[in-house]
Amino acid sequence: SYSSTFFGGKSNFSQMATLNPLLSRNQQRTICSQLGNVKLKLLYKASVHGFTGAAFHQRCDNQAPTVSVGYNTTGYVFGGYTSQPFSQTGQWVNDNQAFLFSFTGGKLQKYPCTNAPYALLMDGNSGPFFGHALALVHSNQPVTLSAPGKYYNFNAAEMHGNDLKLTECEVYQVEGESLKPWRTVVWESGTELMDTIKTYKPTVSSVPQARVLLIGQVGAGKSSFFNSINSVFRGHVTSQAIAGSSSTSLTTQFRSYSVKAGREGKPLPIILCDTMGLEDNKGAGLDVEDISSILKGHMPNCYQFNPAAPLHAESHGFRKSPAVKDKIHCVTYVIDASKVSIMPPKLEEKMEVIRRKVNLLGIPQLVLLTKVDEACPLVKDDLRNIYKSGYIKDLMQDVSVRVGVPLSCVIPVKNYSGELELDLNCDILLLSAVVQMLRFVDNYFDDLKMQPLMEK
């Protein structure tokens, strides 16, 4: 037999034929994100094995779960998932997990089974047969049977453009991987993490609070991150910094936010500096020159950004001789996990320019990957799956390459946005991110202490 494991694997050769998947890597990722920590193994390819029910059943019977995919002459990609094994019994099979799908505009559209006892029909003369609603390789022909309504509700024009002629049919086995997390998180460590942050002291005596700069695209969640950290220490959801959904930056001033340990508590030893959002258009959003002023400690708190004219030495409030306590000790890029793949090239270029400036100043850099629940259904179901999700790991690796930082510097979080009450799992990811920031701040201070020694 010959088969191939995809989603990162290599193809094997047999009988002079190669099983290369027609399903793109991004499409595979999208389907896998619906199913958990899994990968896809190609079992059957009609153009290689034959557009017949017999060829399909020979390759796919008794294999489960599976994803079946059809491709037509007008370029539509559609199919179905079942958790049950195929056979040639002629019987109906119950599957309350089955669903049909199509890729529309690059996005996955799902159509759940509406009559689970009739989710599948085991027809020996056809390929994958979903509830008399959709059959691929129908009656031993390279055609699709399409009958929306009774068992699966879908829009035929949306799913396959009413083009029933198949150019290819593939069936993939869904293989589960170990659910062991690839990063260790102690999910009951909320109090311990809070104590670590409260008792932190900068190793440079002249610096009372570590300063961390948040940089990111409009809407990525910079202000929401501060609000979320503030919420954790207040014990309830708060919204001090202006945050929301907008195409332009809601933050128009440079703000230095200090978090208190409780309503009447002392300020924590960390200041989160919020900036205007980055935009890909020239002359819009945060100016790269303003970032240099912030990093070096020249920019005063509450400075009103002007994208057309960056801060200069004669501007009101400009700090001409900033101390170490005024400078930035750690830079954190905030990136929306659900928009990594569509990050504008000009924005990436802007971030690359910023990263070079930060590197020259010897400031440590982190990435906060926000909105992870929106990016992965497995994580949306349970935040504790964050380091079990193969999709999130791939996203983090992608971000690592795009931003130019090691994978260990990419931290996934979920900010509070629509919630009214706190969630411990959410708190732990947020607090872990702050602890990591403080560790990087220590690296900055360590390098600062080494400079006089190196100059001797």
pLDDT per residue as tens digits for the range 372-404 = 998 887 788 789 989 988 778 888 999 999 999
Give me the half-sphere count of Cα atoms (radius 13 Å) on the Cβ side of residue 398.
20
Distance between CA atoms of residues 409 and 302, nearest Å: 29
For residue 77, the cross-strand partners are 71
H-helix or E-strand containing 135?
strand 134-136
Q: What is the pLDDT of residue 264?
A: 81
Cα separation of 392 and 404, whole Å?
A: 18
Question: What pLDDT sits at residue 245?
Answer: 46
Residues 6+ apart with CB under 8 A from 104: 158
With a cut of 50, list the residues of the chain below it in pLDDT.
1-16, 178, 244-249, 454, 456
pLDDT at 230: 93
How far is the C-alpha of 88 from the C-alpha of 257, rounded, in Å? 66
pLDDT recorded at residue 288: 80
Return the DSSP state at 173. Answer: E
Say how far apart CA 282 and CA 304 lie, in whole Å: 19
Domains of the chain as residue ranges with CATH: 4-176 (no CATH), 190-455 (3.40.50.300)
Instruction: Please give the order of strands across the beta sheet that includes 66-72.
Output: 4-5, 38-45, 166-176, 66-72, 77-82, 99-104, 107-112
pLDDT of residue 189: 87
Residue where the block lists tokens 């193994």: 41
CA dist 308 to 185, 289, 360, Å? 44, 11, 25
Q: Which of 97, 175, 176, 180 is nearest to 385 (CA)?
A: 180
Task: Considering only CA atoms, give the Rg of the chain.
Answer: 27
Q: Give the residue ranges of DSSP H helices in 235-336.
A: 288-295
Residue 307 amino acid letter:
P
* Amino acid 2: pLDDT: 34
Asked whether 51 and 169 are in contact (CB, 8 A), the reply is yes
Residues shown for the chain = 456
DSSP-based three-state secondary structure for 445: helix
In this prediction, residue 119 carries a pLDDT of 96
Nearest to 332 by CA among 184, 441, 451: 441
Tell whether the torsion through CA atoms of 98, 99, 100 and 106 is positive or negative: negative
For residue 275 the two structure tokens come to: 């900036």
Rounded Cα distance, 44 and 17, in Å:
12
> CA nearest 354: which of 224, 442, 346, 411?
346
Residues 6+ apart with CB under 8 A from 221: 243, 334, 336, 368, 370, 371, 415
Query: Buried (b) or exposed (e) across 47-70, using 16+ Cβ within 10 A?
Result: ebbbbbbebbbebbeebebbbbbb
Strands 92-93, 120-121: pairing is antiparallel
**Cβ neighbours of residue 432 closer than 8 Å, sequence gap 6 or more:** 185, 193, 411
Q: How far apart are CA 420 and CA 422, in angstroms?
A: 7
Per residue in 172-196, pLDDT (tens digit) is 999 875 456 888 899 988 999 999 9
* SS3 assignment, position 148: coil
Pairing of strands 99-104, 77-82: antiparallel
d(CA 305, CA 317): 13
Centre a 10 Å sphere on the Cβ of residue 155 and count the other Cβ atoms it contains.
Answer: 12
